[in-house]
C-alpha cells in the first residue's frame, strides 16, 4: 500500500518498558506518526513528561476506546497484559483499527476466535510472541532441526516481572517443532518426578522449562539430542531495542493484510 501520509499509531502500554521503546522508535521514523497513548492512571499527561520530562505534545487517554474515538489511528500497538489485550483487540475490530500485538498470554481459543472474526471482517492484524528478528530465526531453525533430531527440550529465560509462563515465544517454537517432527513421547516411560514440576511443562511429548530472574530480558535455548551428539540453538535479547525493527516492520506490513497473522515469521522470506 502506497501512502503519502504517515501511518498514525496509538500505543497501549506506552509507559511500560516495551512501550517506551516503541514510542522512541515511532518518533525516529518519519513514515510513522505517534498520535496517542493509553494509560488510565496518566490520563491527560504528556507522554514525554511521563517518560523523561520532555514535552512531546502527545497525551495519554484513559482507554483504548477513547483513543480510537478521538484520534482514529490506523494502527494500535499493544504491549499491555493478557487480561486486557483480548478486549483491546475486540475494540480494534469494532473501530477498524489494525492491531500489532506483542502481549502474550492469549489462550488458543481466544486466538482462534479472533482469527476467525478478523478474517470475516477483512481486517489485518499481527500478534507476535516475539519481535526480535533473531528470535524468529531461532524458531525457524528449531523447526528445521526437529525434523532430523526429534528429541528436544526448550528452556526460556525472562525477567522476573513477566506474567505468563511459558513465554509466547516458547509456545510458538513448540508449535513449529510439533508440526515438523514425527509424534514422539520422550524420556523413560517409568520416569517419575520426586518434586512436582521438576521436568517442566509437557507439550506434545517434549518439555518446556521457564526461568524467571532479575537481570534478564528475553532468552531462549532449544536443545536437541541424538546418538553421540547434541545441538543447541540459542537467542538472547540483550535489551528491548532488539524488538523495535520487528515492531516497525509489523506496523508497516499490517496495513496490507486482510486477516489476523500469528507470528512474525510469516513476514520473513
Q: Which residues are catalytic?
A: 158, 162
Determine the Cα–Cα distance for residues 139 and 53; give it in Å rounded to an integer. 39
| Residue 107 near residue 84, CB atoms below 8 Å | no
**Beta sheet of 260-262, edge-to-edge order:** 60-61, 32-38, 7-12, 75-78, 98-101, 125-127, 260-262
State the CB neighbour count (10 A cutoff) for residue 122. 10
* Contact in structure between 159 and 213 (CB atoms under 8 Å): yes
Could you please report the per-residue DSSP string of 160-223?
TT--SSS-HHHHHHHHHHHHHSPP---S-TT---SSTTTT-EEETTEEEEEEE-TT--EEEEEE
Crossing angle between the packed helical segments 108-121 and 82-95, to the nearest 10 degrees: 10
Amino acid at each position: 500500500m502506497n501512502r503519502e501520509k504517515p501511518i498514525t499509531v496509538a500505543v497501549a502500554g506506552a509507559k511500560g518498558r516495551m512501550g517506551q521503546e516503541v514510542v522512541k522508535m515511532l518518533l525516529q521514523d518519519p513514515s510513522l506518526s505517534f498520535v496517542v497513548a493509553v494509560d488510565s492512571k496518566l490520563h491527560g499527561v504528556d507522554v514525554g513528561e511521563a517518560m523523561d520530562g520532555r514535552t512531546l505534545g502527545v497525551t495519554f487517554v484513559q482507554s483504548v476506546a477513547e483513543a480510537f474515538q478521538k484520534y482514529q489511528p490506523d494502527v494500535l500497538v499493544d504491549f499491555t497484559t493478557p487480561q486486557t489485550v483480548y478486549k483491546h483487540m475486540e475494540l480494534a475490530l469494532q473501530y477498524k483499527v489494525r492491531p500489532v500485538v506483542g502481549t502474550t498470554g492469549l489462550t488458543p481459543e481466544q486466538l482462534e476466535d479472533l482469527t476467525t472474526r478478523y478474517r470475516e471482517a477483512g481486517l489485518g492484524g499481527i500478534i507476535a510472541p516475539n519481535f526480535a528478528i533473531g528470535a524468529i530465526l531461532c524458531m525457524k531453525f528449531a523447526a528445521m532441526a526437529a525434523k532430523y533430531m526429534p528429541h528436544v527440550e526448550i528452556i526460556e529465560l525472562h525477567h522476573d516481572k513477566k506474567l505468563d509462563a511459558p513465554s509466547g515465544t516458547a509456545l510458538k517454537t513448540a508449535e513449529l517443532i510439533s508440526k515438523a517432527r514425527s509424534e514422539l513421547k520422550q524420556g523413560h516411560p517409568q520416569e517419575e518426578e520426586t518434586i512436582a514440576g521438576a521436568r517442566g511443562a509437557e507439550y506434545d511429548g517434549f518439555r518446556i522449562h521457564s526461568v524467571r530472574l532479575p537481570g534478564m530480558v528475553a532468552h531462549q535455548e532449544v536443545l536437541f539430542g541424538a546418538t553421540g551428539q547434541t545441538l543447541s540453538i540459542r537467542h538472547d535479547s540483550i535489551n528491548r531495542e532488539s524488538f523495535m525493527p520487528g515492531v516497525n516492520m509489523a506496523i508497516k506490513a499490517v496495513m496490507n493484510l486482510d486477516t489476523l497473522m500469528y507470528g512474525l515469521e510469516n513476514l520473513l522470506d
